[in-house]
Structure 1
Amino acid sequence: MYSIVPFEEHHQPTIEALMIEIQEEFDLPFRNPNSVSVSEYVESGNFFWVAIHEDQIVGTIGLSCFDSETGVLRNMFVAKEHRGGQTTVAKSLLDMALDQAKDLGYTNVYLGTMDQFKAAQRFYSKNKFVQIPKTDLPETMSFNPVDTLFYVLRNEKE
């Protein structure tokens, strides 16, 4: 059983450890050396959640505001042993962020990822995100400089 909860300051060290653990799985670095800590990110009016299983953080996701109708998903990570079809961690995290985006009235939610994250690409496509060229991103939108692939989920206003 997993619970998705809003970020709290005491989560920061465990999130850092999770990011290092995931980074070690891949040949290419994916962490932005200029990124701010989650606590700084949240203080800036953004949202961040963690997935907890047996008192351990096993996943993260953030949602930042680009403008009044546009959000950006950030830092979606799930520990290796909690990925895949047998768990619901990634889907639960994504649903939490997308529900918040809907509550805020966002009609577009963007994300960036890297070519090496094949399973993530399949997951985003399965969840109705559409891959777009970088040139289709809003001009001043910032992403991790190592992101090579970009996606958008377009929602209709009710």
Structure 2
Amino acid sequence: MSVVIEIKRYQKDYQEAVLNLILNIQQDEYGIAITKEDQPDLFKIEAFYQNGNGNFWVALHDGEVVGTISLVDIGNQQVALRKMFVKKTYRGKDYGTASHLLQTALEWARERNITGIYLGTVPEFLAAHRFYEKNGFEQIDRTELPENFPVVKVDKLFYQYTF
């Protein structure tokens, strides 16, 4: 029996589930000192993410939000990949949740002729680093980020994907 993971564009009724998923992973699973107040974008997802070349998606299993990914339009046909989180039990090849989310974002970017996707992450997310590298992202120095890239204070490692 295969599990069906559905990727949908974010809608307001996913707000609480998205917030809970992200905070649980950040705080409880990885012990990162970041609060919901440090992430005001999570309270205005439509305005912050869903404009220009940006968007925000959720991964659903039987109606439950089990993953998120977003792209922020930073101008010059470039986007920042943000808020890629997958609930622990839905990680790995059995579910393919992260791959489905990333492929959705990459397809969206290709359709809009995006030239580069940039992201920041924390050193603790080792599996995420391997995932990004396996999917064509290359680690870069912070000085190589586009001028308009929104650096988050906890991010210490940076990656780029070029088309």
**What's the TM-score once normalised by structure 2's chain length?**
0.89
Matched residue of 2:117: which SS? strand
Counterpart of 1:123, as a letter, is F
Paired with 2:63 and 2:148, the residues of 1 have a C-alpha distance of: 39
Question: Percentage identity across aligned positions?
Answer: 35
Paired with 1:65 and 1:32, the residues of 2 have a C-alpha distance of: 22
Question: 2:103 matched to 1:111?
Answer: no
Residue number in structure 1 paired with 2:63:
55
Residue number in structure 1 paired with 2:15:
12
| Structure 1 range deviating more: 49-58 or 16-25 | 16-25
Question: 2:74 matched to 1:66?
Answer: yes
Shift of 1:39: 5.6
With over 3 angstroms needed to count, the CA separation of the structure-2 counterparts of 1:35 and 1:28, relative to structure 1, is closer
Shift of 1:90: 0.2
With over 3 angstroms needed to count, the CA separation of the structure-2 counterparts of 1:120 and 1:30, relative to structure 1, is farther
With over 3 angstroms needed to count, the CA separation of the structure-2 counterparts of 1:68 and 1:31, relative to structure 1, is farther
Paired with 2:34 and 2:130, the residues of 1 have a C-alpha distance of: 18
Structure 1: 4+ residue segments shifted above 6 A: none
Question: 2:123 matched to 1:90?
Answer: no
Shift of 1:30: 4.8
Paired with 2:109 and 2:35, the residues of 1 have a C-alpha distance of: 24
Matched residue of 1:28: which SS? coil
Paired with 2:31 and 2:41, the residues of 1 have a C-alpha distance of: 23
Cα deviation, 1:67-125, whole Å, max 9, x if unaligned, reads 13201101000000011122210000001111111111111100111100000000000
Counterpart of 1:78, as a letter, is V
Structure 1 contact 2–51 (Cα < 8 Å) conserved: yes
Structure 1 contact 38–48 (Cα < 8 Å) conserved: no
Structure 2: give runs of 5+ residues left out of the alignment.
none
Match of 1:26 among 19, 27, 30: 30
Counterpart of 1:35, as a letter, is Q
Structure 1: give runs of 5+ residues left out of the alignment.
none
Residue number in structure 2 paired with 1:121:
129
Task: Report how many aligned residue pairs link the two structures.
Answer: 155
**What's the TM-score once normalised by structure 1's chain length?**
0.91
